[in-house]
Structure 1
Amino acid sequence: MSADARPAVPAALPLTERQEARRRRILHATAQLAGRGGFDAVQMREVAEAAGVALGTLYRYFPSKVHLLVATMQDQLEHLHGTLRKRPPAADSAAQRVAETLMRAFRALQREPHLADAMVRALTFADRSVSPEVDTVSRQTTAIILDAMGLEDPTPEQLSAVRVIEHTWHSALITWLSGRASIAQVRIDIETVCRLIDLTDPGRVRRSG
């Protein structure tokens, strides 16, 4: 077993206020380190020192740096979701609102390219042991998209469209980070896939029938 991976300890109880504050310090330290040097700059010992916690304590919260960086992405998305709720997209159609929302999310990540690369690499490297954290990221992304659509009770077809949109957004991040796609191409891809929202709108079927 490597020094950066230890067995996960299942969480039995909700975190206390003190534990939550410690967790937030850890995530903040991780984001700072990743923002300066990317994936390789996030080492468990350095994170523990920057957060002011013992190394063993850090491992109790996050068994590996992949767990840590995926949790950091969830935290970043949660913050973004809060910002979007305060200043929601203003476009008329659901497809346009989702495209605007995802491009705002993309621009937020664009401002911290090393952090974005570290988080996306962690998602790519995640194995089954990180499934709960990856699922949380997916649920957060789904919630952001559904909010932009203005939906509380989506149909199975709409949820399927949301999943395809999520996959496209993630793929667009990877291709941009690797230098294989421009911002303009990312926007085109996002706007194109968001048209699935119109195709899965139950009202569209009734209007065309």
Structure 2
Amino acid sequence: MPAEVSSASPSSPALTERQEARRRRILHASAQLASRGGFDAVQMREVAESSQVALGTLYRYFPSKVHLLVATMQAQLEHMHGTLRKKPPQGATAAERVAETLMRAFRALQREPHLADAMVRALTFADRSVSPEVDQVSRQTTMIILDAMGLEDPTPQQLSAVRVIEHTWHSALITWLSGRASIAQVKIDIETVCRLIDLTAPEEPARRR
């Protein structure tokens, strides 16, 4: 991290190869600036200059800094997901694998505290206009958790557990970034909430005697 690759929202028109390359440059510039100085360091004019696009073009891709930084978080999670797939978690149970996965993702963010703070602040500031980008962050986090669980067709109860785990993970990021929680406490909270996975696992049918 910072990652350089991201794709457009599924609901947006397909980008040409040139447009996608331009979008990647913008997201990379955003991540680089944020990693150096956090939320305040990401200025749209500087992003435009660093990514070699016109300021007006930048605003057509991302109407505000909040839009840009939430999209940057989605790109970072996508990059993490690819890394995690190359080296899957080794836990014996789904709960252990998800906890291991989320702590690995957390530690990746821990290595870039200014970037993590900028992205989380953007999520906090996001209003309804940023819903598509926020939804992408949520979908990416859900995919990471489901991959760790090894599930392709989760039940409604399992999806509910995944949402609670996702909320806890994001909350843990906020409390750690604000200095109100240690890494050890974050690990305990993540491991605790991941036990919901075991509680929502479908029961196996009773064997006939």
TM-score (norm 2): 0.92
Q: Could you tell me how far apart the structure 1 residues matched to 2:203 and 2:70 are? A: 37
Residue 167 of structure 2 corresponds to residue 167 of structure 1: yes
Q: Could you tell me how far apart the structure 2 residues matched to 1:144 and 1:40 are? A: 29
1:87 corresponds to: 87
Letter in 2 for 1:189: D
Q: Could you tell me how far apart the structure 1 residues matched to 2:199 and 2:81 are? A: 25
Change (3 A) 1:99 1:59: same
2:7 corresponds to: none
Instruction: Give the conservation status (yes or no) of the 8 Å contact 1:168–1:190.
Output: yes
1:5 corresponds to: none
CA offsets per residue over residues 109-164 of structure 1, 9 Å max, x none?
00000000000000000000000000000000000000000000000000000000
Residue 118 of structure 2 corresponds to residue 118 of structure 1: yes
Q: Could you tell me how far apart the structure 2 residues matched to 1:114 and 1:46 are? A: 17
| 1:70 counterpart SS class | helix
Pairing of 1:8-87 with structure 2 (within 5 A): 13-87=13-87
Q: Could you tell me how far apart the structure 2 residues matched to 1:57 and 1:141 are? A: 29
Change (3 A) 1:18 1:188: same
Instruction: Give the conservation status (yes or no) of the 8 Å contact 1:30–1:72.
Output: yes
TM-score (norm 1): 0.92
Q: Could you tell me how far apart the structure 1 residues matched to 2:69 and 2:206 are? A: 45
Q: Could you tell me how far apart the structure 1 residues matched to 2:37 and 2:46 are? A: 12
Aligned residue pair count: 197
Pairing of 1:147-186 with structure 2 (within 5 A): 147-186=147-186
Structure 1 vs Structure 2 CA RMSD:
1.3
Change (3 A) 1:187 1:12: closer
Q: Identity rate of aligned residues, in percent?
A: 87
Q: Could you tell me how far apart the structure 2 residues matched to 1:102 and 1:33 are? A: 25
Letter in 1 for 2:158: Q
Change (3 A) 1:40 1:202: same
Residue 100 of structure 2 corresponds to residue 100 of structure 1: yes
| Cα deviation, residue 13, structure 1 | 2.8
Q: Could you tell me how far apart the structure 2 residues matched to 1:84 and 1:61 are? A: 28
Q: Could you tell me how far apart the structure 1 residues matched to 2:178 and 2:127 are? A: 22
Q: Could you tell me how far apart the structure 2 residues matched to 1:132 and 1:29 are? A: 21
Instruction: Give the conservation status (yes or no) of the 8 Å contact 1:198–1:204.
Output: no
Q: Could you tell me how far apart the structure 2 residues matched to 1:71 and 1:43 are? A: 15
| 1:202 counterpart SS class | coil
Which runs of 5 or more structure 1 residues have no equivalent in the other structure? 1-10
Superposition misfits of 4+ residues, deviation over 2 angstroms: 203-207
| 1:180 counterpart SS class | coil
Q: Could you tell me how far apart the structure 2 residues matched to 1:90 and 1:17 are? A: 37
Letter in 2 for 1:162: V
| Cα deviation, residue 206, structure 1 | 5.7
